[in-house]
Structure 1
Amino acid sequence: MAAQGFRPVYHPAGHDHALRGAVQELRTGRWVVMARLLDETSGWTAWTRRTQVLAAVAAGTDVVEAWRIEQPDSAAAGVMHARVSVERAVRAHRTGHPRTRELWQEAWTACLEAADRAPADPVPWVCRLALSVLDAQQRMEEHRAAPPAPMLPSGPWGLLAEAEKRDPYNREAHHRMLQFVYARRPGPLSEAVNYAQWAASMAPVGSALHALPLYVRVERYRRERGHERALDLHWVAEDAVRDADRAMDAWFLFCATDEASLLDLSHLAHGLYGALKFPDAARVFEALGPYWTPQPWAYRTDRPDERGPAEEVFLRARARCLGGPGARGGP
């Protein structure tokens, strides 16, 4: 798909067509397809991903509340209530909304209720990890537990352990933990680098956690624009190439790419492209198919808040990799 005129599609459901249908129904104010989809979802990986996407769409509506009224005993509805409550609290925190503390308390309570109703589900614990970014000063005891290894910061390690007890190497749980590390100490990223490398080193072959260091490298690039580094060299540095290679060899080559996170695929394609590994990047662009995500491509532009420039960078990188010498043909 390196043909001229190609335009990528951004959709939170990506390759998950069943999820796409549920999202569409949600946007029209109906919850039945969402409930049916979650009832049919097997495996915590798909469950975590689908509830996250659905909550991001439902947070601006009262659809989940309507579902809970109709089916008050539904554990899935309770989990989605926690998801939506957390999404609202995090958004309020991000914008400095005056109701942030109230929404935070409501979300925390919803997480406790969901964990009590669905004790085997990792998502209520992932949700509590998501809330930890609201406590960057670590005032709550559960957010200042001792780390499991040297060179790691104190933080909500007990919450991470509870999520991992239910779903080892849960992708979102570790990304939420990384967000907490960012919020805990803005500035130097040494703690985030240490955390991402530690998480990746503990992960088995095929785990998406091998892509986690690529996110930290993008964050470093975002923060250092115009400062110390020659930005073009940022991606070909020895450690950058190593991170991209490890994500390729330990995750991508073993994962079901049609079930993989579009963000993970985008970060890997971006890292390989920056490392000048165009044939490997081509394989990842092929796995993305018609889809893309604005991040991390937006950070290579002067207008990172606008989608248009990011899409242009993505398309140039994609065309270079799929059309370059040694690149595989598109599907």
Structure 2
Amino acid sequence: MSLFRRIRASSPSVRPELDDVELGRVRRQLKSPGLPGQSAIQIDQVERLLRETGTDWDRRGHRFGVLAEAAAPSSLAHNWVLRRAQSADALTFAGWVQLVRGRHAGRMEDARAAADTCYRAAEISPEDPTPWVVLLGILRLMRAESRDVVAVWHEVAERDPWNREAHLQMLRYLSPEECGSRSAQLNFVDTVRASAPPTAPTAAVELTALVDEHARTSAAGGVEALLVRRQWTHNRAVTALDTALHGWPRLGGLGHAAAAADLNVLAFALIQAGRTNEVGDTFRLIDNSVTAWPWNLLGDPLQQFTYWQARTSG
């Protein structure tokens, strides 16, 4: 059983922290209007929250990502580095905040400086995969050469073989929209499926790829978009959905920090496949922790989630 407190939501809401109670509390404080002296308090809270994870790289990655997104509009990351210039967590956080800003802007403001920050963090804490995960995201955003991306990928894999964030970064980097192709993406998925435990944090990589393909086909328009549901009748898609349905809902089947996010992907995929009579248990396991993606592919995420949750409940 996880040592980190989880919460049962009273009603559906989009919450990046998912069921991590302490993470949600700190995230909300980071999003609140700043007060004099508040930055020091926020730094202490973030520092404590990350320190609590110890070597639980999965939980650390989840908390880093959520907190960096919340802190991106502020100067908190900069202030933390000024306060603790030799802290690997402070440096990693600063790099992740720069990555978040780059994603929103569509480009890195100073990719070299952000990368250097990650390298410094990796030197201070060589066992931690998180600085390498951030660097992987930076290289992906830069559309870097594959040899550079693969080198960083191996650094992550040596420290945390089933790192969820790194696998999703590689999946998107290898997509036709970025620096790969559909075949490259499928080869990556096949490799993950053949090597990763079925309930590892990488459990939803294949379903994520299928949802990406669904979105790609729908966005292209034309006859294929009208017949996009046929994608879910292909053997690969049917097998992926059946595997998730039979393995994930078991008690303790998914124990990683972003399990609720992966269950959101499963619920969405089942609905797109027309298997609405099978999605009820998945909605119950999600416990109202809604993720923006993939529901935003249909419109407002919360509206779409609550509509399908109500329609398939029973």
Structure 1 residue 196 displacement after superposition: 1.9
CA contact (8 A) 1:86 1:130 kept: yes
Counterparts of 1:241 and 1:319, CA distance in 2:
24
Gap change, CA 1:257 and 1:276, over 3 Å in 2: farther
Cross-structure match for 2:244: 247
Q: Deviations over 1:170-227 (max 9, x none)?
A: 11110111121125447x5232222123212211131132311111111112121233
Q: For 1:44-193, list aligned pairs within 5 A.
A: 44-92=57-105, 94=106, 100=108, 102-136=109-143, 138=145, 143-144=146-147, 156-182=149-175, 183-185=177-179, 189-193=182-186
Structure 1 residue 52 displacement after superposition: 1.0
Please, which moves more after superposition, 279-288 or 122-131? 279-288
**5+ long unaligned stretches in structure 2:** 1-9, 33-38
Counterparts of 2:231 and 2:151, CA distance in 1:
35
CA contact (8 A) 1:273 1:321 kept: no
Cross-structure match for 1:37: 49
Gap change, CA 1:314 and 1:158, over 3 Å in 2: same
Structure 1 residue 16 displacement after superposition: 0.3
Cross-structure match for 1:203: 196
Please, which moves more after superposition, 193-202 or 31-40? 193-202
Gap change, CA 1:136 and 1:24, over 3 Å in 2: same
CA contact (8 A) 2:12 2:290 kept: yes
Cross-structure match for 1:149: none
CA contact (8 A) 1:82 1:114 kept: no
CA contact (8 A) 1:65 1:81 kept: yes
**TM superposition score normalised by structure 2:** 0.83
Gap change, CA 1:316 and 1:258, over 3 Å in 2: farther
Cross-structure match for 1:15: 19
Structure 1 residue 281 displacement after superposition: 2.0
Counterparts of 2:212 and 2:16, CA distance in 1:
21
Counterparts of 2:46 and 2:69, CA distance in 1:
13
CA contact (8 A) 2:58 2:257 kept: no
Is 1:314 equivalent to 2:305 in the alignment? yes
Structure 1 residue 231 displacement after superposition: 2.4
Cross-structure match for 1:217: 210
Gap change, CA 1:312 and 1:233, over 3 Å in 2: farther
Match of 2:265 among 244, 264, 267: 267
**3-state secondary structure, aligned to 1:259:** coil
**3-state secondary structure, aligned to 1:285:** helix
CA contact (8 A) 2:248 2:254 kept: no
CA contact (8 A) 1:25 1:33 kept: no
Structure 1 residue 134 displacement after superposition: 3.1
**5+ long unaligned stretches in structure 1:** 1-5, 146-155, 324-331
CA contact (8 A) 2:171 2:185 kept: yes
Structure 1 residue 120 displacement after superposition: 0.6
Is 1:234 equivalent to 2:227 in the alignment? no
Aligned residues: 290
Structure 1 residue 316 displacement after superposition: 3.0
Counterparts of 2:253 and 2:159, CA distance in 1:
21
**3-state secondary structure, aligned to 1:209:** coil
**TM superposition score normalised by structure 1:** 0.79
Structure 1 residue 257 displacement after superposition: 5.2
Gap change, CA 1:257 and 1:116, over 3 Å in 2: closer
Gap change, CA 1:165 and 1:257, over 3 Å in 2: closer
Structure 1 residue 137 displacement after superposition: 5.9
CA contact (8 A) 2:59 2:256 kept: no
Structure 1 residue 64 displacement after superposition: 1.8
Q: Amino acid of the residue matched to residue 235 of structure 2?
A: E
Q: Amino acid of the residue matched to residue 272 of structure 1?
A: L
Q: For 1:260-299, list aligned pairs within 5 A.
A: 260-278=258-276, 280-299=278-297
Gap change, CA 1:79 and 1:267, over 3 Å in 2: same
Structure 1 residue 135 displacement after superposition: 3.6
Please, which moves more after superposition, 225-234 or 8-17? 225-234
Aligned-residue CA RMSD (Å)? 2.4
